[in-house]
Structure 1
């Protein structure tokens, strides 16, 4: 429903633009038929143009975020689902549309009842119905309804000529289209003004055509002044309107010069501005040569059976591009809709306020921070297996990962800080008492972790008992690995001799 409401907003903005051009530039001219076409085309354009979108592609370097595969315990800082204002807005809009649709249907039923309960006579392709009610003459498609008792023969002759113009030019279609648009855009105040001006222009057309068939312009104007009664319906063409003064003014106005028609083209740059502002979508793509591998199973040193957790860190220094990386990565790879709003920065360009809204097929999650000082970093965590979304302070929701230490032992702790460079990530690891720094190197979309300070030489590598090279190891598909052992220090030398002083990596692949 969010998509529909956004479409409704765009359509309303477009209709308002068209109305502004008509009201400011066209309504006082006598190009009544051209104005009618302008108003009708404007309605159709406002409904169709929001579907047209232009896409610009921007390539960026690899993100500074990381993805791990872990047995992560639930975060203590889970943001509960809050009120979904899109749903509330949709319900309120739907109720309003239903009310106006019901009103329109009741008008049609009332009109049908009136037409079917009176006899009609056909003459020259028109259906004439004489009624006894005190209503103003009106036409609906090819039917003209009037009360002959209320008007003299001369007045009635002028009235019928006026209504015949409405019938011949199918003005009823304009009114029905406008009423349907009002049901759709009832929340748009400009739509109601648009309807008023459209009806007024139809009366100008009928007045001009009718008076051309008469010998006395003065008599026609006097008839307009004399005839007053209640309008029957907003979906019929009524002879009497509360716009009598304007109609008489337009009847006596000198025809506008054709050179003024240029004013219609003013709408073109406004439409271009609309498309550029609202219908241009920027798609951010990661450069292929630097794109990080987002498959956690390829991080060989981090392998552990468990859930796939995708975590992004947002801090005070996160730029617009950084936030877009989060947005488009989650959208393109995991079909999550992410919106960052309410972003405020201080003089140092540090974020002090930010709001995050994330929605998926399974629900929504919101998170907001607003301070006078720079924000603390927070994590956006998505479990692709369960579809669970969590947002919270990164200090409380850091992911627990397995590392290999200097002695080849597995250590479990939490990542405290991340730096990123060209093909290199530095992780500061803490197990509670001390910190070690690990470097993450990426080659051919494979990620390997080494503890800093223990990189004097490369370790020995054995795959299925055969000595091989690091390059061959990096070619392995992690899905084919059954077991991996890492030996360092005395343990490695004891098993393989002095040649293993830099460590040994043993890999056993799955048997086919």
Structure 2
């Protein structure tokens, strides 16, 4: 809804731009025909240009996968009770619609009035013109090919001047300009500039008709007297080109003015820089996209990670879609039950059960009367195609598990030859298939107060430069103390309890029993937090002391 008002504001601004250019630079020039097209171009530009948006894509590094937490109580999101508020957007839209309706009715009445004048009258055809000599006391006017006048009100000489003037209007289709300007006044009735713009269009059309008619008449002064005589008429048909217009003095001045010099035509191009500035400021939309990273196995570890988000606003159709994708893409069984929603249709309670082949079923249940916090199902795939499934939340995990994997990151947005071997850190907690033939370390965590259980498995293959730490609270932490780029090992920055450790510090010197948590930062996240010191990665260790 807000986009409609943004569009209206942009359109109004462009109308004001063209009107100011005409009023201050062009209205005193005698380039009447050029002014006509300039003014029409301004109207068309004001409705088309705001719709043209150039999208500029800015590539950013992907957001790290957040830590996992299986505490059911943390999935509850507090929602504030909303009091009644007036939606001013709908109020303004209602006012706009009422105004538009009023002007549409007025246009209909004007059209009906015109039709009543033309209907049933005797028409005299001459070339492309249709003349109607009426008995009504109205000023002469033209409407497309129709030219209407009351011959009893004028002398033959005056009538000749009038008809030549109206022929110009009819021959050059000035009625189209009048109708276009009238349509814009109805659509943008709230904008005072558009009414001035319409007046400028109609006045310029009169300048054109006066100039062309005077060329065909022998007595130019008599034509000017005819203009003065017609000013006595007070009523006219609004949607026609009528001979009488206000500012007769202005028309006479322009009729006698010398032709403007061609070098003054530069004034038409003044709007181009202004339009360019408008596009640069308002019509370029910057879109941030995450670099698509394809994780390729180097040392027999994680190949890809997929996260299926479950939001508080997820519908039954959304949940069914997640179920279909998990089954189709990963052969993972996903079932949701005990679904409850509040008055705002937000999820407040649900039970999620996940089963990956022969793995034990993992479940999480949330109960409450407040909206849940967003969480998701995370699926990791190794190079052998083995799927590992878990549940991901957006909260900070009470138990942080950092698995450092050496992978090759291939940026899909860069050329194929731009590949860098580095250390990829995945912050995750997963359910995995335990194989007695592999070297694994497992730990099962459960909470008696919640319906939640999970198994954490970490590859402890000592062939990789990875250190595995099992803390006293049962957390299993695997970290890598180096980053490898183009075959060169770069030592990561180590921070212990907020203090920077000297170069060459070995994490193995810390007793595993004293470690409370470990965080690993790579790339832009490390540099953002620690500056150039973190360019090779940062390992934060928090101890219990």
TM range (shorter): 0.5 to 0.7
- Report the CA distance between 1:196 and its aligned residue: 0.1
Change (3 A) 1:149 1:47: same
- Contact kept, 8 Å, 1:137 with 1:145, in 2: the verdict is yes
Change (3 A) 1:177 1:296: closer
2-structure distance, mates of 1:500, 1:195: 79
Deviation digits for residues 413-466 of structure 1 (CA, Å, limit 9, x no counterpart): x99xx8xxxxxxxx485xxxxxxx74656766853369xxxxxxxxxx983452
With 52-61 and 200-209 compared, the bigger mean Cα shift is at 52-61
- Report the CA distance between 1:124 and its aligned residue: 2.7
2-structure distance, mates of 1:385, 1:195: 60
- Contact kept, 8 Å, 1:127 with 1:143, in 2: the verdict is yes
Q: Residue in 1 aligned with 2:463?
A: none
1:257 aligns with 2:261: yes
2-structure distance, mates of 1:3, 1:462: 47
Change (3 A) 1:472 1:109: farther
Change (3 A) 1:21 1:221: same
Q: Residue in 1 aligned with 2:153?
A: 150
- Report the CA distance between 1:7 and its aligned residue: 2.1
Q: Residue in 1 aligned with 2:427?
A: 447
- Report the CA distance between 1:85 and its aligned residue: 2.4
Q: Residue in 1 aligned with 2:250?
A: 246
Q: Residue in 2 aligned with 1:191?
A: 194
Aligned ranges 1:352-371 → 2 under 5 Å = none
Q: Residue in 2 aligned with 1:468?
A: 438
Q: Residue in 1 aligned with 2:356?
A: none
What is the CA RMSD across the aligned residues, in angstroms? 4.2
What SS does structure 1 have at the residue aligned with 2:138?
coil
- Contact kept, 8 Å, 2:69 with 2:397, in 1: the verdict is no
- Report the CA distance between 1:218 and its aligned residue: 1.2
Give the count of matched residue pairs.
363
- Contact kept, 8 Å, 1:175 with 1:199, in 2: the verdict is yes
Q: Residue in 1 aligned with 2:239?
A: 235
Q: Residue in 2 aligned with 1:216?
A: 219
- Contact kept, 8 Å, 1:231 with 1:240, in 2: the verdict is no
2-structure distance, mates of 1:17, 1:152: 44
Aligned ranges 1:314-329 → 2 under 5 Å = none
Q: Residue in 2 aligned with 1:491?
A: none
What SS does structure 2 have at the residue aligned with 1:136?
coil
Deviation digits for residues 311-357 of structure 1 (CA, Å, limit 9, x no counterpart): xxxxxxxxxxxxxxxxxxxxxxxxxxxxxxxxxxxxxxxxxxxxxxx
- Report the CA distance between 1:56 and its aligned residue: 1.6
2-structure distance, mates of 1:258, 1:501: 87
1-structure distance, mates of 2:270, 2:293: 46
Q: Residue in 2 aligned with 1:338?
A: none
- Report the CA distance between 1:470 and its aligned residue: 6.0
Q: Residue in 2 aligned with 1:347?
A: none
- Higher-Rg structure is 2
1-structure distance, mates of 2:432, 2:146: 93
- Contact kept, 8 Å, 2:400 with 2:475, in 1: the verdict is no
2-structure distance, mates of 1:501, 1:33: 86
2-structure distance, mates of 1:271, 1:400: 44
Change (3 A) 1:483 1:172: same
2-structure distance, mates of 1:93, 1:51: 20
Deviation digits for residues 72-129 of structure 1 (CA, Å, limit 9, x no counterpart): 3351534457433222222221111111111111111110111003222222332111
2-structure distance, mates of 1:65, 1:151: 87
What SS does structure 1 have at the residue aligned with 2:428?
strand
Q: Residue in 1 aligned with 2:481?
A: none
- Contact kept, 8 Å, 2:76 with 2:372, in 1: the verdict is no
With 257-266 and 280-289 compared, the bigger mean Cα shift is at 280-289
2-structure distance, mates of 1:289, 1:126: 71
Change (3 A) 1:308 1:128: closer
Deviation digits for residues 190-237 of structure 1 (CA, Å, limit 9, x no counterpart): 111110000000000000001111122211111111222024222111
2-structure distance, mates of 1:145, 1:484: 89
2-structure distance, mates of 1:198, 1:277: 29
1:90 aligns with 2:93: yes
- Report the CA distance between 1:164 and its aligned residue: 0.7
1-structure distance, mates of 2:230, 2:291: 74
What SS does structure 2 have at the residue aligned with 1:468?
coil
Change (3 A) 1:446 1:251: same
Superposition TM-score, scaled by structure 2 size = 0.58
1:58 aligns with 2:38: no
Superposition TM-score, scaled by structure 1 size = 0.61
2-structure distance, mates of 1:256, 1:273: 29
What SS does structure 2 have at the residue aligned with 1:466?
coil
- Report the CA distance between 1:472 and its aligned residue: 12
2-structure distance, mates of 1:462, 1:236: 80
- Contact kept, 8 Å, 1:77 with 1:397, in 2: the verdict is no
Which of the pair has the greater relative contact order for Cα pairs under 8 Å at 6+ separation?
A: 1
- Contact kept, 8 Å, 2:312 with 2:371, in 1: the verdict is no
1:40 aligns with 2:44: no
Change (3 A) 1:169 1:257: same
